[in-house]
Every structure is written in structure tokens, then in C-alpha cells.
Structure 1
Amino acid sequence: MSAELDTPVAVRRTAMDLLARREHGRVELTRKLRQRGASLELIEAALDRLTEEGLLCESRYLESFVSYRARSGYGPLRIREELGQRGLQRADIELALRECGINWQEKLEEAWRRKFSGQLPLDARERARQGRFLTYRGYPLEMIGRLLSGRGMDD
């Protein structure tokens, strides 16, 4: 896409094309439009208008992102970090994680079963390996410890 975005119409059209594919946050959309050669003034005006029209919505983006990453097997700590790196406000991130309605214990068990076939670790080395994987995925150590000791499972 080498077309220069030098008019308000071109910036708006490109922003709408990006939003048609998936939800975006304002910071992310600004970055993408800047990479395509749009000026900051044109971007701000276009994004303000899209926000007023309800086409660009941070809370909808947060909800979509949290849901998508949770379905992919990632935990709240990892999702929180990724959203922070995308320039979203910490308070908005916390609110989205609190109100998402996701049972993180169930998601943890699901990710663990998928990766380790539901086999509890038999020794310290295997426990460390499973713990590292789940920590990397973004689950709290307390939940991981409860799961790997067999206390967090319902079966």
C-alpha cells in the first residue's frame, strides 16, 4: 500500500478499511496510519470523527482483544501486558479484565490440558516445565501452583 495519505478522505478511508478487518485501539490505528504516510493532524481529525460516529471504540477493542487472547489460551497477566504495550490506559485494561466474565481458572486448566494432556507432573523437573509454560502464557503463580498440585481441578 504505497498510496500517500495526504487528504482527510484518504485517511478516513484507510482507517475504516483497517477497522473493517478488526477492532483497533486509537494508538494502534494512529501508528498504522503514520506508517502509511498520513500526517498526525489528519489522523487525529479522522479518528476523532470515527470515535464520535461510534466506529472507533476503545472499550469495544479491549473487550474484543481480551476475548480473543483468552480463547487462544493466554491468561490475564499476559493480556494485561500486551494491552499496555499497545498504549492503552492501565485503568481501562483493569476494567476490561474485571468485566470480561472469563473464568481464568477454567482457561488455565484448558490450556494445561491441551498442552500436557491433563498429566500432573510426577517430579520437580516436570512441574517446573509445566509451570514455566503456564507462567509464560500469563497465568498467576498462585493459580498454577494450585493446579499443578491437583487442588485446582474439579475432576
Structure 2
Amino acid sequence: MMYGGEITFCGYLFSPEEEQLGMSGKVVVALCKSIPNSQCQIVYFDNFFCSIELNQFLRDDYGIFGLGTLRANPLRGCTLKTCKQLSTSGRGSYDQKVEDIKKVGVVKWYDNRAVVLASSYVASNIVTAIKVDIGFPAVVIYYNTHGLSRPD
């Protein structure tokens, strides 16, 4: 989908809830509407498109699961350990919060630097060691395998 200014969404109709997701969220919703048999599909997005609200909306309204990296500012009250606290614990350390009502997990994982991921289908669950002595939460493994790029 190409950005075309005010005509970007010409021909698309969005519900009031979809309008609340902003420009980047509407791009994801518009593309997800084109998925045939969208129930139980998974979409991956980078931090420009990802938000906790988008993950929740896609799951609740379309049955689509999501996983993406998050910028630090859209955590909306989800407090995780600081980068300094994680770096003190060493590479591979992580912190997570899972919102049972929204059914979204947020994981902050530290390798060479911290990365924050949000998902509506996986959180830290199984920690797998891929590099020597560095644990990877499941959400990182899934993003690295299916996402746009490695989050570090």
C-alpha cells in the first residue's frame, strides 16, 4: 500500500474503532481485510505499525494474531524493567507483562540493547538458547523467524 497523502485510504471504509488506531494501524487493518479466511492467521509488523491496541483489535475483531516490535513510548502504563536493570542482569535477560483481559503480552528483552515486542499469541513462554549463554524468549524467536528483520 503506497502512501498517497489524503487519498491513501480512498475507497476504504473504517469503523470508529479502526479510525482510533491512527494512520499506521489503518494501513495494517486495510491490508488484513484482504486476507482470505483470516481467522487464526498471524501478521508481523515493525515498530512503526505495532501497538498494543492494534494487536488487541486484530485478535478481537478479525481473529488475526499479531506480533511486532514496539517503540518505548506506546507502552501505555505497561511498566517493564529499565534497560539498565536488564543490562545488569546480562545478555538474554527479559521482563514481561501479560494482560489477561486484552490478551496481549509485552516482552522487553536485552541482548546488545533492549528490544520491546508485543504479541497477541506468544510471550516469553519457552526460553531457547541460540547463542552461547544467551536466552531468547519465544516471542523473539518467532519475530526473528517470521518478522521483517532481527530486532537487535
Greater strand content:
2
Q: Shorter-chain TM-score category? A: under 0.3
TM-score (norm 2): 0.26
TM-score (norm 1): 0.25
Q: Which has the larger radius of gyration?
A: 1
